Amino acid sequence: MTEATDLAERAGDRDPRIGLRAVAALRRLLEQLEAVQVRSARNQGWSWQEIAAELGVSRQAVHKKHGRQ
């Protein structure tokens, strides 16, 4: 790779859109992963309190978010 294209590519990386897009994608992935793990824990008989403690959130928060599944 020439120096010019290398520089151009690194300049492109500083485009805020790329970083923001990655954060949004990560958040979507996180939501799906959380749903999978919470469902799995519930199926294994975990209480909301136990799940909340592992996730580092309140019992009410986790129950409100996942309670209907």
Partner 1 sequence: MFERFTKDARAVVEGAVGHAEQAGAGQVEESHVLLALLDREGTRGSFALAALGLTPPRRQTVVRALDEARRRGGLSRADADALSDLGIDLSAVVSRIEETHGEGALAPAAKSGGWGRRPFSRGAKALLSQSLRTAVAHRDRHIGDEHLLLALTARPGTPAEVLADHGVTYDSLAKVLYGDGEARAAG
Residues 62 and 54: their CA atoms lie apart, in Å, by 11
Among 7, 8, 26, 57, indicate the residue that binds partner 1 (CB under 8 A). Answer: 26
We find the least distance from the C-beta atom of residue 33 to partner 1, in angstroms, to be 7
Query: Is residue 2 within the footprint of partner 1 (CB under 8 A)?
Result: no
Among 7, 29, 57, 61, indicate the residue that binds partner 1 (CB under 8 A). Answer: 29
Count of CB atoms within 10 A of residue 52's CB?
Answer: 18
**Among candidate residues 12, 66, 1, 11, the one with its CA nearest the CA of residue 38:** 66
Q: Which is nearer to partner 1, 35 or 57 (CB)?
A: 35
